[in-house]
Amino acid sequence: MVMAPHDDLAPPVASIGVIGWLRKNLFSNWFNSILSLVSLWFLVTVGGDFVRWAIMGAKWSVVYTNLRLFMVGPYPPDQVWRVWLVLASVCLVFGMAGGVFGGTIRQFAVALAATLAGLALLPFELVGRGWLLGNVVVLVVGYSVARGRESLRPWLVLLSLATFAASILLLQGFEGNSIMPAVSTSQWGGLLLTFVLTVVSIVVSFPLGVLLALGRRSQLVTVRWFSIAYIEVVRGVPLITILYMTQIMLPLFLPGDVRIDSVVRAMAGMTFFTAAYTAENVRGGLQAVPGGQAEAANALGLSNILTTLLIVLPQALRMVIPASVGQFISLFKDTTLVLIVGLLDLLSVGRSVLAQPESMGLQTEVYLFVAAVFFVFSYAMSYASYRLESALGVGKR
Amino acid sequence: VKQSTAVPFWRDVRVLTALSQVAFVLLVIVAGSFLLGNLSTAMRQRGLASGFDFVNLESGFEIGEGLISYRPSDTYGRAIAVGLLNTLLVSVLGIALSTVLGVIVGVARLSSNWLVSCMAAVYVEIIRNTPLLVQLIFIYFGVFLALPPVADSLEFSGIAFASRRGLFLPRPMPSATFDLWLALIGVGVAAALIVWFVLSRRPATRRTYWPVGLALAVLLLAVAGGWFLVGSPPLTWEVPVKERYNFAGGIPMSPEFSAVLFGLVLYTAGFIAEVVRGGIQAVRPGQVEAARALGLDEPRILQLVIFPQAMRVIVPPLTSQYLNLAKNSSLAIAIGFPDVFSVGSTVANQTGQPVPVIVLIMATYLAMSLITSLLMNLYNRHVQVLEK
């Protein structure tokens, strides 16, 4: 049957356009109307005050003049080029990953390049702007080299691990070297320290967490009980008690001639803590692998160890990626706790900036800046995790 | 022909299992004794004592606030008890308030009102993506310590005050007719319970549809009748009075306590809101449509269809949020509120016995976590029983 086309009636004016949208979304009934008016009043008074303050009243110069402290803390100023170099290598990896994988990662590479370029437009000293622009160039070069080369995928994973190791070496330097003198970890600070703590803890805790998760599902009673006890005890106590314990008790537990400084102790504490949570994430992934997979592998003659390594773990870990990003975010936020054990992360740099006599009474500016930095990174990561979740099709089967 | 099924022992799974367990236990013992050996050597070298004798020694330090009386001449044990009670107080109040706020925000995020759901979303994203410690420090230094001094403190309709010395709320005091009222309300509650019990046992026909509503009506009637009979309220409010340097009377809340409580509530509510939203969205739309088709009105759909099904999804993650709140209260040390961790670290510094003190604190938190999850598991079972 063929329907003869005829002129559609125009929809009623009150249900389309701005008026229609307002009616549908804000004033659909009397209760909603009151809610809308109250919210609007709240937004205008509080939000208006805030915006007026942020533009006119706030003294953001406290952030601007102390920016280097916020970024790297007491890292020696003449060695800051090493931090820039680390950022450049991160940009290279990001650019290449964006080229190889495309999708969300490319979006992030673009966003990173745009942020760096935007920061370069601000009136910083010339060297810093040069580095920022240079990093953008590195990112673009990485992207164009790697673009569309699927075969680079496995190499990229190796490259990022190598970058991680090289960055730590670069930041630490070498004893007696004139170009790169050693910078002890006690001089790492600011956002740099926050990131180093987060990345080191997540990288080191991952294998531990996988082992604990496998241990919790092990047939061996002793291994299983050990894993359960570890995981539950660590998850039952606050992170700060674990940090406190590693700060004070780790030196006591080690032989007398081994000395480790407080940053490494904090890393150890965060690693022990994260391992328990990673273990639970991985356990979730392991449970989601259908039992038939392991049975089929056994039927093909694979031993239990090979079944776990080749069949179960690869599938489980793929499902664990979004949860791990979530773990990464909460770890990133939790690094602020090192303030309590006396390290100079971003938040404690903020506190020491506030201790300067010329920044008296500027708490709001400083803490809002710190919060904004955390917000930008956490929000970006949670957006990435959300996208990854849909890209990997986790939970949809 | 009978085949030999003998397996050499090095390929026998049972033997291998036993052997690997023995190896694992040996490994743990060796590693543990190495660590503990180092520990006892180090403690001897540095003159650190072990054991819990210190709890009976005199502490000699002040604690800002507490629920039980405490003087510096009291023991370390009592100091830790003061801290523990402070932790419990903040945790219990925080759990109650953050649940209320979290449910409101979670429902607001699902509101059909665009403005309301946007504001709830912004709140949740800001709270979840910034560290709790930053929020706590901001609330303490940027809000509570930035309040005006006592002389020009903020007034809230003349009964509550906010100043640099903290918040001062009116305190309910039992009036002369309090006991009479207690008896009256007891009778009302009993009557309401009977009504509810009888009505909810009858088959659900149209007439007996509101067991809860009718029971509440009975209770309300009892209270109204009580007002008529007694003629004066059961409670009077003790309003804080401004004196020269501080307020007297009412419920004083120190800036530290207020900051910890507000910070924990605002933070945890952001997470609870997401839990609540997830739970409500997990109820399949067909359920609501079916309820509508059966002629239930919106409040009753919420009460009878959405709520019981959402609770099943909500309770387990809600438990972990409660546990997180209790554990996060340990961050109070950053703004000087004397919770159990803060008092504990002072004790550890003074006695020079960090090992037993930290063990004691961790055991305390573990016990709190276990008790909370036990209670929530019981409630969870009660909620899950509804499943077919």
Q: What is the pLDDT of residues A230-243, one digit of tens each?
A: 998 999 999 999 99
Amino acid identity at B348 = A
Q: What is the mean pLDDT of residues A240-261?
A: 84
Measured between alpha carbons, how far is B96 from B58 in angstroms, rounded to an integer?
Answer: 36
Cβ separation A236–B125 shorter than 8 A: no
- Which is nearest to A381 in space by CA: B26, B223, B128? B128
- Min Cα–Cα distance to chain A from B158, Å: 23
Residue in B with minimal Cα distance to A382: B129
Q: How many residues does chain B have?
A: 388
Q: How many CB atoms lie within 10 A of CB A343?
A: 26
Residue B361: its chain A contacts at CB < 8 A?
A: 241
Task: Select the residue of A36, A226, A367 nearest B113 (Cβ to Cβ).
Answer: A36
> Number of Cβ pairs closer than 8 Å across A and B?
153
Interface of A with B in 174-203 (CB under 8 A): none
- Model confidence band, residue A267 (pLDDT cutoffs 50, 70, 90): very high
Residue B91: its pLDDT value, please? 93
Q: If you write DSSP's letter for every residue of A151-202 in order, what string do you get?
A: GGHHHHHHHHHHHHHHHHHHHH-BTT-SSSB---GGG--HHHHHHHHHHHHH
* Digit-coded pLDDT (tens) for A86-103: 888 888 888 888 888 777
Mean pLDDT of B183-205: 76
Cβ distance of A347 and B20 shorter than 8 Å: no
- Minimal C-alpha gap between A149 and chain B (Å): 35
> Among the ranges A212-216, B213-217, B379-383, which has the highest mean pLDDT value?
A212-216
- Kindly list the residues from chain B whose CB atom is less than 8 angstroms away from the CB atom of residue A382: 128-129
B230 neighbors B177 (Cβ within 8 angstroms):
yes
Neighboring chain A residues of B362 at a CB cutoff of 8 Å: 233, 237, 241, 245
HSE on the CB side for A2, CA within 13 Å?
A: 2
Cα separation, B344 vs A340, whole angstroms: 14
Please provide the size of chain A in residues: 397
pLDDT of residue A4: 62
Tell me the per-residue pLDDT of A360-382, one tens digit each, with 9 for 90 and over.
878 888 999 999 999 999 998 88
Q: What pLDDT is stored for residue A276 in this prediction? A: 94
**3-class secondary-structure state, position B259:** helix
- Closest C-alpha to A79, from A159, A189, A160: A189
pLDDT band at B387 (very low <50, low <70, confident <90, very high): very low
Per-residue pLDDT at B388 exceeds 50: no
- Weakest mean pLDDT among A214-223, A387-396, B225-234: A387-396
Residues of chain B contacting A238 with CB distance shorter than 8 Å:
327-328, 330-331, 341, 365
Contact residues, chain A, for B377 at CB < 8 Å: none
Q: Which residues of A touch B113 (CB under 8 A)?
A: 25-26, 28, 32, 35-36, 39
Residues of B in contact with A260 (CB under 8 A): none
pLDDT in tens, B268-287: 999 999 999 999 888 888 99
Per the CB < 8 Å rule, is A382 touching B130?
Answer: no
Residue B226 and residue B231: Cα distance in Å, rounded? 8
Distance CA B62, CA B39 (A): 31
B131–A221 CB contact, under 8 Å: no
- Which of B137, B139, B345, B347 has the highest number of chain A CBs within 10 A, making it the mutation to test binding with A? B137
Give the integer Cα–Cα distance in Å for A97 and A110.
Answer: 11
**Range of weakest confidence among A66-80, A184-198, A266-280, B53-67:** B53-67
Q: What is the C-alpha to C-alpha distance for residues A70 and A353, in angstroms, rounded to an integer? A: 9
CB-CB: which of B42, B111, B134 is closest to A367? B134
Residue in B112, B119, B141 nearest the CB of A32: B112
Specify the amino acid at residue B65.
Answer: E
Chain A neighbors of B21, CB-CB under 8 A: 220-223
Percent of chain B with pLDDT over 90: 29
DSSP A10: P
**Over chain B, what is the mean pLDDT?**
84
Q: What is the DSSP string of B160-201?
A: EEEETTEEEE-EEEE-TTHHHHHHHHHHHHHHHHHHHHHHHH
Among the listed residues B4, B64, B109, B40, the one whose alpha carbon sits nearest the alpha carbon of residue B257: B64
Average pLDDT over residues B78-107: 93
**Hey, which bits of A116-232 come out as E strands?**
none
- Contact call for A219 and B112, based on CB within 8 A: no
Determine how many CB atoms are found less than 10 A away from the CB of residue A219: 11
How many Å apart are CA B174 and CA A339, to the nearest integer? Answer: 45
Residue B139: predicted pLDDT: 92
Interface test with B, best of A194, A220, A239, A243 (most B CBs within 10 A): A220
B142 and A379 in contact by Cβ < 8 A? no
Helices A262-288/A313-334 angle, 10° precision:
140
Query: pLDDT (tens digit, 9 = 90+) per residue, B224-258?
Result: 877 777 777 777 777 787 777 777 777 888 899 99
Cβ contact B341–A241 (<8 Å): yes
> Above 80 in pLDDT, residue A310?
yes
Chain A contact set for B128 (CB, 8 A): 378, 382
| Shortest Cα–Cα distance, B191 to chain A (Å) | 34
Q: For residue A242, give the nearest of B327, B83, B332 by alpha carbon.
A: B327
Local confidence band at A12 (pLDDT 50, 70, 90 cut-offs): low
- Which of the two residues, A150 and A162, has the higher pLDDT score? A162
Which has the closest alpha carbon to B328: B128, B94, B29?
Answer: B94
Query: What is the DSSP code (8-state) at residue B376?
Result: H
Residues of B in contact with A249 (CB under 8 A): 39, 354-355, 358
Chain A residues 247-266 with a CB less than 8 Å from chain B = 248-249, 251-256
pLDDT at A125 over 80: no
Instruction: Specify the higher pLDDT residue, B6 or A278.
Output: A278
DSSP state of A178: S
Q: Which residues pair with B172 in a beta bridge?
A: B237
Q: Closest Cα partner for A138 from A92, A84, A87, A85?
A: A92
Q: Tell whether A236 lies on the interface with B, counting CB pairs under 8 A.
A: yes
**A303 in contact with B, Cβ within 8 Å:** no
CA distance B200 to chain A (A): 32
**CB < 8 Å from B in window 327-356 of A:** 329, 333-334, 336-337, 339-340, 347, 351
How many angstroms separate the CA atoms of B308 and B254, rounded?
A: 39
- Tell me what percent of the residues of chain A surpass a pLDDT of 70: 95
A62-77 pLDDT tens trace: 888 888 888 888 888 8
**Span B336-363, average pLDDT:** 88
Give per-residue burial for A255-290: e unless 16+ CB within 10 Å, then b. eeeeeeebbebbbbbbbbbbbbbbbbbbbebbeebe
Beta-carbon separation of B130 and A35 below 8 A: no
Residue A396 pLDDT greater than 50, yes or no: no
Is the pLDDT assigned to residue B67 strictly greater than 70? yes
Task: Quickly count: other Cβ atoms within 10 Å of residue B48's Cβ.
Answer: 17
DSSP H or E stretch at residue A150: none
Highest mean pLDDT among A338-352, B41-55, B84-98, B175-189: B84-98
Q: How far is CA B24 from the centre of its chain?
A: 39
Count CA within 13 A, CB hemisphere, residue A396: 6
